[in-house]
């Protein structure tokens, strides 16, 4: 019998409780408090680095569109809450991230990164991105190495596809699907209509 040694899509997202920085204050975050909403977990290596601020601010700049889809974002790294606070107090032009529209979670113990299987041998979080649905189930997982960032637009597209198929369980989304484009009926006969149309 096969046994799993790590989490994967379709599993319950590991719960956690940790200190975060949001609106220049320390706040306790419990992932379980977000049940009933979609959540994007955004793991990143370290504060005060080079690629990380581009991702953190890009997701913050798109926060209104993301939150309009009943979705929250949590940024997570192995830095302390004091490091997060200092980073958010520094403006973007000086290498900081400034005020963000979502919390940065401190994973100083590295237990959250470990539970999501994104902790590398150097003790940093890889660029892991998880989309968790309203029931707390992981629907999407993407992990990049340290030196290249992720696409906010592709994350948004994926989130919309997840929500579409969950609201329309007899349909599936083809490659490069965008809202308003054709889907495929998950039936051998009806699926032909899609393939005949492309």
The alpha-helical segments, DSSP class H, found in the chain are 51-61, 63-67, 81-88, 111-115, 152-167, 191-197
Task: Judge whether 125 lies within some domain.
Answer: yes
Q: Is residue 163 part of a domain?
A: no
- Residue 118: name the closest of 134, 136, 138, 103 by CA: 138
Place 188 in a pLDDT band, splitting at 50, 70 and 90: confident
What are the tens digits of pLDDT across the range 134-161?
999 999 999 999 999 999 999 999 999 9
Distance CA 79, CA 71 (A): 24
Q: What percent of the chain has pLDDT over 70?
A: 97
* 3-state SS, residue 114: helix
**CA angle (67 as vertex; 86, 98 as ends), nearest 5:** 20
Is 177 domain-assigned?
A: no
Residue 3 lies in a domain: no
Number of structural domains (the chain) is: 1
Contact 127, 28 (CB under 8 A): no
- The average confidence (pLDDT) of the chain is 94
Q: What is the pLDDT of residue 98?
A: 96
| CB proximity list for 197: less than 8 A, separation 6 or greater | 182
Position 157 in a domain? no
**Assigned domain for 169 exists:** no
The residues annotated with a catalytic role in the active site are: 52
Checking if the pLDDT of 189 tops 90, the result is no
pTM comes to 0.94
pLDDT in tens, 3-55: 556 899 999 999 999 999 999 999 999 999 999 999 999 999 999 999 999 99
The answer to whether residue 138 sits within a structural domain is yes
> Which domain CATH number covers 103?
3.40.30.10
Per residue in 80-102, pLDDT tens? 999 999 999 999 999 899 999 99
Structural domain span for residue 111: 17-150
CB-hemisphere CA count at 13 Å for 70?
A: 11
Is the residue at 36 inside a domain?
A: yes
**What was the pLDDT predicted at 103?**
98
Q: Measure Cα distances from 179 to 27, 61, 76 in Å.
A: 36, 21, 29
Q: What is the CA 178 to chain-centroid distance, rounded?
A: 19
pLDDT of amino acid 42 = 98
Q: 20 CB contacts (<8 Å, ≥6 apart)?
A: 26, 27, 28, 29, 74, 81, 84, 103, 104, 105, 106
Nearest to 27 by CA among 85, 109, 92: 85
């Amino acid at each position: 019998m096969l046994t799993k040694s790590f989490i994967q899509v379709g599993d319950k997202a590991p719960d956690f409780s940790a200190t975060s920085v949001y609106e220049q204050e320390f706040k306790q975050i419990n992932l379980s408090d977000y049940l009933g909403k979609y959540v994007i977990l955004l793991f990143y290596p370290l504060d005060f680095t080079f690629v990380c601020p581009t991702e953190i601010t890009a997701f913050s700049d798109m926060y209104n569109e993301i939150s309009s889809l009943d979705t929250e974002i949590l940024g997570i790294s192995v830095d302390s809450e004091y490091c997060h606070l200092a980073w958010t107090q520094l403006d973007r032009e000086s290498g900081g991230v400034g005020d963000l529209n979502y919390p940065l979670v401190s994973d100083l113990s590295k237990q959250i990164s470990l539970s999501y299987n994104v902790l590398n041998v150097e003790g940093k979080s890889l660029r892991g991105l998880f989309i968790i649905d309203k029931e707390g189930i992981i629907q999407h997982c993407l992990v990049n190495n340290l030196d290249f960032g992720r696409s906010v637009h592709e994350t948004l597209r994926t989130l919309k596809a997840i929500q579409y198929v969950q609201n329309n369980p007899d349909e599936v989304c083809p490659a490069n699907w965008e809202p308003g484009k054709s889907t495929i009926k998950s039936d051998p006969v009806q699926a032909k209509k899609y393939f005949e149309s492309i």
